Amino acid sequence: MSNFKFILHLFVLLLLQLAILDNIQLHSYVYINIYILAIYILPYRLRNATLLFFGFFLGLIVDLANHTMGIHMAASTLLAYVRPRLLMLTSNREQIDDIQGEQKISDFSWFFKYIFISTFIFNVVLIFCETFSLQNFLITCLRIIFSTLVSTFFILLYYFIALKKNKTVK
Amino acid sequence: MKEIIKLILKYHFTIIFIILELISFSLIVLHNNYQRTVFSGYATSFFGGISSIVTQVDDYLFLKVTNEKIVAENTKLRNEVERLKKINQAYCADTIWQPLDSTEVDYVYKTAEMINSSFNKTKNCIVIDKGRKDGILTEMAVCSSEGVVGVVEKVSRHYARVLPLINTNLRVSAKIKKNGYYGSLQWDGDDYRYSYLNDIPFHVNAEIGDTIVTSGFSSIFPEGKLIGFIESVNKETANFLKIKVKLATDFKRISDVYVIENTKKEEQQDLGKENYE
């Protein structure tokens, strides 16, 4: 994927997030965040401080738009930090190359695992930063689980519609 | 130094991550009203807890100084009470008004500290750290904040020896507060917590728990100083009761005492003598 294409996707993701998804009110139990897909699909070789700053400023943009200063920043910076380790854990070298390319993903399960765990970590930080206390712990956990499930669904939806469209042949 | 730089370079990814997270966290706390309230609540209770522990330790360490201060203040207040009592008496008395010298009080309290004491002999004694230099004379009363301690027996320049209630040689005139019957209190040399009140007529209604106070007849003790409480009542002879008194003062524990000077003792005694002669 070229840089231009990546920036285009980043732009579309942010637009979707800020213009549409952030305006959907689902009883405060469910937060849908798909902009973090931009961190997932970064090139694998990008694993130095740039990755961290990318996550940091991506969160900053969403925070500025939502008036939730710092919350998305903390979550997406953590996401950028765990990304290289998580990739090492869940996959091998060949599979990592798959994320970038437009060809069909050969093994869906590891990809799903990677996306799901990442989204879960993101939502844990996000929702705990928001509630900022251990009261109503069960409700907080429920919110994390619902948000993770729905966000993962939308991320996969966008991923397979926009990024992997009809290029089924290697 | 080189090693430190190497270490920083090796872990720069994590270090930058921690810095960015700290920035995020401080932004959360600074810019969101709800989180700021919660955070400042936690911070306040945390540092408040620490400072309260520090204060407690501090209080404990300065307990002795505080105690001395309180004792000194107590002495002052007791003197003041005696003075005010006197003034009050002058106003209440149904006589022609007389100008009263405010220093002319019946009793003057002085603070002293016990430096030596015994409680396991039959002739116990206590040594206090005030002597002739501080105006202590023989036959002055000694009390603690709990109750009567004893009488000054001997005075040196800096120290004084006190005959406590738990000395078989000391007899103190005491009365039952409730009905005013008086007798003499004398220790039997056995248990330092109990003494015996003799010479109370057998018809007197003395019950367990009644208060025993000084009678004020001896011109040593002021009237009404607490001695103890009745523990048990026995009929010893045909006419008199033997009352076991639980002493209010714990002789194993006292350290600060008051020496009470009767300023009109000589006058009282002289008058008594004249009468006798």
User: Residue A85: its chain B contacts at CB < 8 A?
Assistant: none
**Among partner residues B17, B23, B29, which is closest to A81 by beta-carbon distance?**
B17
Length of chain B counted residue by residue: 277
In this complex, is the C-beta atom of B38 within 8 Å of any C-beta atom belonging to chain A? yes
* pLDDT band per the 50, 70, 90 thresholds, residue A6: confident
The total of other beta-carbon atoms located within 10 Å of residue A6's CB is: 15
Residue B254, token pair as written in the block: 């006292």
Query: Quick check: B79 and B105 in contact, CB under 8 A?
Result: yes
Asked if A52 lies within 8 A of B38 by C-beta distance, the reply is no
Asked if A132 lies within 8 A of B34 by C-beta distance, the reply is yes
Statement: residue B244 has pLDDT above 80: yes
Statement: residue B218 has pLDDT above 50: yes
Instruction: Kindly give the residue spans of alpha helices, DSSP state H, lying in A67-107.
Output: 71-90, 93-100
- Specify the DSSP class assigned to residue B222: P
First and final C-alpha spacing in chain B: 102
Classify residue A140: in a domain, yes or no.
yes
| Residues in Cβ contact with B15 at an 8 Å cutoff, skipping those fewer than 6 apart | B8
Statement: residue B98 has pLDDT above 70: no
- Specify the DSSP class assigned to residue A104: P
The total of other beta-carbon atoms located within 10 Å of residue A52's CB is: 24
**The pLDDT of residue B103:** 54
Query: Quick check: A55 and A77 in contact, CB under 8 A?
Result: yes
Classify residue A134: in a domain, yes or no.
yes
Closest CA to B28 of A26, A131, A54: A131
**The pLDDT of residue A170:** 38
- Nearest Cα of chain B lies from the Cα of A27 at a distance, in angstroms, of 19
Helix, strand, or coil here: A108? helix
Classify residue A169: in a domain, yes or no.
no
User: Residue A63: its chain B contacts at CB < 8 A?
Assistant: 27
Q: What is the mean pLDDT of residues A22-50?
A: 80
Range of the domain at A153: 3-163
In this complex, is the C-beta atom of B34 within 8 Å of any C-beta atom belonging to chain A? yes
Q: What are phi and psi of B112, to 5 degrees?
A: -145, 160
- Specify the DSSP class assigned to residue B207: -
The CA-based diameter of chain A, rounded to the nearest angstrom, is 52
pLDDT digits (tens, 9 = 90+) for B107-148: 888 888 888 888 788 888 888 888 888 888 888 899 888 889
Residue B183, token pair as written in the block: 């007798």
Q: What is the mean pLDDT of residues A19-37?
A: 82
* Residue at B271: amino acid letter: L
Classify residue A150: in a domain, yes or no.
yes
* Calpha distance B242→A56 (Å, rounded): 91
Residue B109, token pair as written in the block: 């309290």
Kindly report the CATH number assigned to the domain that includes residue A34.
1.10.1760
Classify residue A170: in a domain, yes or no.
no
**The pLDDT of residue B253:** 80
Q: What are phi and psi of B157, to 5 degrees?
A: -65, -45
**The pLDDT of residue A77:** 92
* pLDDT band per the 50, 70, 90 thresholds, residue A165: low
- Specify the DSSP class assigned to residue A23: G
| Residues in Cβ contact with A60 at an 8 Å cutoff, skipping those fewer than 6 apart | A72, A73
Between B127 and A105, the more confident residue is B127
* Residue at A140: amino acid letter: T
**Among partner residues A52, A129, A133, which is closest to B20 by beta-carbon distance?**
A52
User: Mutate which of B15, B25, B28 to test chain A, going by most A C-beta atoms within 10 A?
Assistant: B28
Residue that has been written with the tokens 């407690």 in this structure: B56
Q: What is the mean pLDDT of chain B?
A: 84
User: Mutate which of A50, A61, A71 to test chain B, going by most B C-beta atoms within 10 A?
Assistant: A71
- Nearest Cα of chain B lies from the Cα of A18 at a distance, in angstroms, of 19
Statement: residue A119 has pLDDT above 90: yes
Asked if B32 lies within 8 A of A74 by C-beta distance, the reply is no
**The pLDDT of residue A168:** 46
Query: Quick check: B226 and B248 in contact, CB under 8 A?
Result: yes
Question: What is the tally of structural domains in chain A?
Answer: 1
Asked if A74 lies within 8 A of B35 by C-beta distance, the reply is no
Least confident among A127-141, B80-94, B159-173: B80-94
Q: What are phi and psi of B80, to 5 degrees?
A: -65, -40
- Nearest Cα of chain A lies from the Cα of B5 at a distance, in angstroms, of 17
CATH code at B106-274:
2.40.10.340
Q: What are phi and psi of A55, to 5 degrees?
A: -60, -40
